[in-house]
Structure 1
Amino acid sequence: MLALVTGASRGVGAAIAGALADTHEVLLGGRDEAALRTRAAGLRAARPFVADLTDHTATAAAVSGIDRLDVLVHSAGVATLGAVADTSAEVWRTTMETNVIAVAELTRRLLPALRAARGHVVLVNSTAGLDAHPRCGAYAASKFALRAFADALRGEEPTLRVTSVYPGRVDTDMQRSIRAQEGLDYEPENYLRPESVAAAVVSVVTATPDAHVQDVVVRAVPQRVRGTAPVRVVRHGDARG
């Protein structure tokens, strides 16, 4: 089986690629070829998929040889915080281009390969895609749009499984940048590990054929109560299949 994971050079994407490598050949999506090659060398069956996904001509060329794809995981993204009054049109445009439009275009280009495999599309969203907070307008709007894209795709492509995964704060370089933008301390002990998000993704990808897990919310157990309760994975679905 073949899986493509975007944002696979580090963070959540790298953890997901590593977790899927036990059962899939993995295409490691990203722009840094050297980093992708280094990561691929440590996995059972993996190779780089080098493309700037905001360059749609390059995306079309990169996917041209893929005629069957079992799993597509969208994990690449950007996060720039700021009040609405201070967020320029360029920030809005870049955020939407990376977090939504690139996802839609890559998926569109790969639909024939996904249909051939009756495949699975996993969109790594954020709890910001469920509840917008001050100073994250552009980022949250992109994640709400990503949620809408998943819902539309699920309704239009009945042979595919489509899952949105909504992690809370995760211990990654992106989270470090977000906390710096917020002017707050970085507290990795209170965040999810990337491997925990990867485990949630693997659980939906390996679900039995009769199960279509549509939405997963994963939040960290606060440090003060760890050891008394497991990390909760809350799954939501409906009868649409």
Structure 2
Amino acid sequence: MSGRPIALITGGSRGVGAAIARALAPTHDLLVGGRESTALLEICDELGARPWPVELTDERAVAEAAADIDRLDVLVHSAGVARLGSIAELPVQVWREAFEVNVTAVAGLTRLLLPALRSARGHVVLINSGSGKRVSPGWAAYAASKFALRAFADALRQEESPALRVTTVYPGRVDTDMQRAVREHEGGDYDPAEFLTPASVARLVVAAVTATDDALVTEIEVRPAGPVR
């Protein structure tokens, strides 16, 4: 790593995470997190980044990987899962997975990296969702996990201020593989033009982490400009 600020992006091999990695690459040295895959290696080769291939729900693996990080300027939590279905039909395993990936893994990794973040007076960015502010039928497990993620971010901001900055981003629907799976579940057609681009979300993340010292960006909410679905 050079003398530039260091950023770790989870879920960085595709979608919004990959877009954030590309947006931060000109100004930051990157650790790009994701499951070990060709996609992870490809984006790291593209950006000159260091791969961080860690299964975030494996507590021991996360602890071992985090132990080597002694300074961290930006931590972006972009990894997440969305499993849809009514409360009547969703098995308890789906609820467990939603909270394990979308909340517990986030809390665990953040806790391990707090010394490195404090050392840099760093910035934690959490990619939430519109479902972290409002609930729709069929989205109960996902929305509940995102409401919990919102609470985690708010508590972290209060506990660690002013040493750390904490920003939550609430995107509307984004053109990603996850969105394709959602639309398939909903039985609708998929038109990328109806959704935000990952790059649009990434630009907002850059705006938050490059804000001047007198400005704390606590929340950003963004929706597609087209008709609301």
The TM-score range, normalised by the shorter chain, is over 0.9
Q: Measure the CA separation in 1 of the matches of 2:6 and 2:224.
A: 30
**Counterpart in the other structure of 2:195:** 191
1:9·1:32 contact (CA, 8 Å) conserved in 2?
no
- Structure 1, unmatched stretches of 5+, are 225-241
**Counterpart in the other structure of 1:30:** 34
Which of 13, 17, 23 pairs up with 2:21? 17
Q: Deviations over 1:138-188 (max 9, x none)?
A: 000000000000000001001100000000000000000011111111121
Counterparts of 1:92-241 in structure 2, within 5 Å, are: 92-158=95-161, 159-222=163-226
Q: Measure the CA separation in 2 of the matches of 1:57 and 1:70.
A: 23
1:72·1:121 contact (CA, 8 Å) conserved in 2?
yes
**Counterpart in the other structure of 1:39:** 43
Q: Show structure 1 runs of 4+ deviating over 3 A.
A: none
Q: Measure the CA separation in 2 of the matches of 1:56 and 1:182.
A: 34
Tell me by how many angstroms 1:115 deviates: 0.3
Q: Measure the CA separation in 1 of the matches of 2:39 and 2:151.
A: 32
Which of 77, 87, 96 pairs up with 1:74? 77
**Counterpart in the other structure of 2:52:** 49
- Structure 2, unmatched stretches of 5+, are none
Q: Could you say what secondary structure the match of 2:170 adopts?
A: strand
Q: Measure the CA separation in 2 of the matches of 1:195 and 1:181.
A: 25
Q: Deviations over 1:192-221 (max 9, x none)?
A: 000000000000000001111000001111
Identity of aligned residues (%): 61
Q: Measure the CA separation in 2 of the matches of 1:128 and 1:163.
A: 16
Q: Could you say what secondary structure the match of 1:152 adopts?
A: helix
1:79·1:95 contact (CA, 8 Å) conserved in 2?
yes
Tell me by how many angstroms 1:41 deviates: 1.1
The count of residues paired between Structure 1 and Structure 2 equals: 223
Q: Residue 116 of structure 2 aligns to which amino acid in structure 1?
A: A
Q: Measure the CA separation in 2 of the matches of 1:184 and 1:136.
A: 16
